[in-house]
Structures are given as C-alpha cells and as structure tokens.
Amino acid sequence: MVETSAPLPPALSQIVQRFARVSDPKQRYEQLLSLAKRLEAFPESDKTAENKVSGCASQVYITADLVEGQVKYQGDSDSQLVKGLVALLIRGLDGLPPAEVLQLTPDFIQETGLNVSLTPSRANGFYNIFRMMQQKALQLQADS
C-alpha cells in the first residue's frame, strides 16, 4: 500500500476503500459513472476560463467557496468518466478546511486501483483536477 503525506480525511478514505475493494476495472468505471450521475448540477455561468482545468483532454470546470472555514467545491466535465473523477474528488475534499486540502497528495488514486485503468491522458487529467482544487483552496486560504 502506498503511504500518502497526510492521513486521508474520512470521506476520501471511505471512497478510496470502496474502490479498492473492487478488483474488476469495468466495475470501477461503473462506480465512477455512478458518482458522475449524482454530481450536483453545475451552473453554466461558472463555465469560465478561470474555472477551467487546463491540461485536460475534456472540458473540466471547478469552483470553490469558503463556507464557515470549509471549502465547498462544485465541478463538471463533458466526459462522464472524467465527471466521475471530479465527483470522487469533490466528495473526498468537500467540507475540509483549506489547510487540510493543501496537505494531501494525489497518490491516493493508486490505492483506488483506478490508476491502472485510466488512460495516461485521463490520469494526467485527474492530477490536473486535483491540483486545481488545491490552487482554489490556497486562494481561499489567502483571501480569508
């Protein structure tokens, strides 16, 4: 098992464990697609250049707000599979203080087993989405 730099927050840990229990890559994809379907609707007005994740083959948007000291994320993608990755990250990181988001490293993806199933461009997209979410948390921390 790969060690991450900080212990995973409970919600993220639960998601990682749920994926890790599934050995079939096709079932992991189905889990991602299921997460994508349950992602909150993303406002069209937030699909702006500043919210767009660069370095992704598909269109991905992430917003973050600070609510009572916790980061509240929203996101969307035009690819259902990538939208599932966005949903995984939002469920795992939503509601954390910015400092906790900033302590995490994206290597928990290896524990899910998804890294072996993702194409290199999707894996790269995952890291870019994660980095964007951390950048938004850093900005919120700096602004508060």
DSSP code of residue 56: -
Measure the CA angle with vertex 119, ends 115 and 120; round to 5°. 85
Measure the CA angle with vertex 110, ends 71 and 61; round to 5°. 40
Assess whether 66 carries a catalytic annotation. Answer: no
Catalytic residue among 15, 56, 89, 133: 56
Alpha helices, H only, the chain: 10-20, 25-37, 80-93, 98-103, 108-112, 114-117, 120-143
Query: CA-CA distance, 43 to 21, in Å (whole number)?
Result: 34
Measure the CA angle with vertex 60, ends 118 and 88; round to 5°. 55
Active site residues: 56
